[in-house]
Amino acid sequence: MTEPLLKVTNLKKSFPIHGGLLGRQVGEVKAVNDISFFINKGETLGLVGESGCGKSTTGRMLLRLLEPTEGQIFFEGQDLTKLSNSDMRKMRKEIQMVFQDPFASLNPRHTVEKILEEPLIVHGVKDKAARKKRVKELLETVGLNSYHGKRYPHQFSGGQRQRIGIARALAVHPKLIVADEPVSALDVSIQAQVLNLMQDLQKEFGLTYLFIAHDLGVVRHISDRVGVMYLGHIVELADSETLYESPKHPYTEALLSAVPIPDVDYQKERIILQGDVPSPANPPAGCPFHARCPKVMEQCASIRPEFKEVEPGHYAACHLYE
């Protein structure tokens, strides 16, 4: 079996909480709490969950835009957590990010041409003519015209701005793209266009994606495998078809019960979860989901379930399978 392109082991991220007169640390928010996964070359791994579950934090740690508290991130066998800042900057040529809000992530004072030239300059493309040629190529690759390079971000629609964000990520020929909710700020009609573009680019350039989203319908459309996050943990991970047809974790079942099905005759029972998501500053003992789980058992309150393979290639963290 070939080595995965990216392998994450026991990754954690905590943010300190400061309080009191002296601003001392009084606690910590466990945003990502011991997760492990891998992504094979050329595949798309979808990462889904409610807001605040730690999926965006995970994406940012892969590029070390946020420093991990614990754990390891192996990219092509190299541990990114051990790299110096300057070595990590060079490594970002291989791993790029597409952000959620294309308006916030594009500099409003720069023309599109300048925005797309920037990564080329940072990664050492000195020849101005070569940069101009590459910018023209990038715009055409994402379905825009070369004359769009002279315009500013505010002169584009949301979908066009996200295409510019994708073009910027592609500029330096990366191997892995971390897409952090790339379509959640767009109209539904535009979402499909951007997703189809991303799939076409994946085939054309052999890209690998970590696709972060909260919409299970969107993730199903683009992902080969899907991981479900809850309160900083990955609670289930399987290939896309298996996860949607036979979810193993009660949280995944509840999420899927809320996805609308375009069939008038199909009646599906909606699973309504009780209570609210616990605070990541004070996560519950045992299984993080036990306080809201419709299938809760006695040991769930005190023993944290192990994240393990319950069927070939299908992983879940749940006492139902022990």
pLDDT in tens, 209-238: 999 998 888 898 899 999 999 999 999 999
Token pair for residue 70?
């614990």
pLDDT on residue 1: 62
Token pair for residue 59?
């994406």
Query: Taking 90 as the threshold, does the pLDDT of residue 51 lie above it?
Result: no
| Contacts by residues 13-16 (CB-CB < 8 Å, ≥ 24 positions apart) | 13/54, 13/57, 13/58, 13/61, 13/66, 13/68, 13/69, 14/69
Task: Scan for tokens 């192990």, then name that residue.
Answer: 306
Compute the distance between CA of residue 116 and CA of residue 112 in angstroms, rounded to an integer.
6
C-alpha dihedral sign at 154, 155, 160, 164 = negative
Q: Write down the pTM of the prediction.
A: 0.92
Compute the distance between CA of residue 63 and CA of residue 96 in angstroms, rounded to an integer.
8
Nearest to 208 by CA among 3, 6, 29: 6
Tens of pLDDT, residues 182-208: 988 888 889 999 999 999 999 999 999
C-alpha dihedral sign at 240, 243, 249, 251 = positive
- pLDDT (mean) for 55-61: 95
Q: Edge-to-edge strands of the sheet including 70-75?
A: 24-39, 6-19, 70-75, 78-79
Residue 64 phi, psi (nearest 5): 55, 35
Tens of pLDDT, residues 64-78: 999 999 999 999 999
Query: Taking 70 as the threshold, does the pLDDT of residue 250 lie above it?
Result: yes
pLDDT on residue 267: 65
Mean pLDDT, all residues of the chain: 91
Tens of pLDDT, residues 17-45: 998 888 899 999 999 999 999 999 999 99
Compute the distance between CA of residue 8 and CA of residue 265 in angstroms, rounded to an integer.
43
Q: What percent of the chain is predicted at pLDDT more than 70?
A: 97
Query: Taking 80 as the threshold, does the pLDDT of residue 102 lie above it?
Result: no
Tens of pLDDT, residues 275-307: 888 888 888 999 999 999 999 999 999 999 999
pLDDT on residue 2: 78
When computed from its CA atoms, the radius of gyration of the chain, rounded to whole angstroms, is 21
Compute the distance between CA of residue 286 and CA of residue 212 in angstroms, rounded to an integer.
26
Residue 267 DSSP SS3: coil
Residue 310 phi, psi (nearest 5): -100, -25
Question: For residue 42, what is the DSSP state?
Answer: T
Token pair for residue 132?
């101009």
Compute the distance between CA of residue 197 and CA of residue 164 in angstroms, rounded to an integer.
12
pLDDT on residue 217: 84
State which amino acid sits at residue 246: S
State which amino acid sits at residue 233: H
Query: Taking 70 as the threshold, does the pLDDT of residue 265 lie above it?
Result: no
Tens of pLDDT, residues 146-182: 999 999 999 999 899 999 999 999 999 999 999 999 9
